[in-house]
Amino acid sequence: MRILVDLVDSKIEALDGLAKAERKSRSALIRQAVDDYLARRRTEREGNAFGLWGNRKVDGLAYQKKVRSEW
C-alpha cells in the first residue's frame, strides 16, 4: 500500500544521503524506521501493562493474601 508523507527538504536530503551510504532505497529506510518505531511503542505498552506494580519486589499473590488476611 502506498501512503503520502510530507517531509521538509532537509529530511529528504538526509534520507537520500543515508540511503546512498547504506545502499538502500529511501522507501526501504522509511519502512525500517516505521518498523523500529512500532516495535519500540509495542515494548513500551507491554511494559506499561504492569502499571505501578511492575517495579515492586514483593510477589503480587503474597501481597494480596497478606492484605486480605487483615480483613
- pLDDT, block means (10 residues), the chain with 71 residues: 94 96 96 94 71 72 86 81
Cβ neighbours of residue 63 under 8 Å, at least 6 residues apart? 56
**Where do the DSSP E strands lie in the chain?**
none
Which of 39, 38, 16 is closest to 27 using CA atoms? 16
CA distance 12 to 10: 5
Is residue 15 within 8 A of residue 26, CB to CB? The reply is yes
Predicted local confidence at residue 5, as pLDDT: 92
CA distance 37 to 16: 20
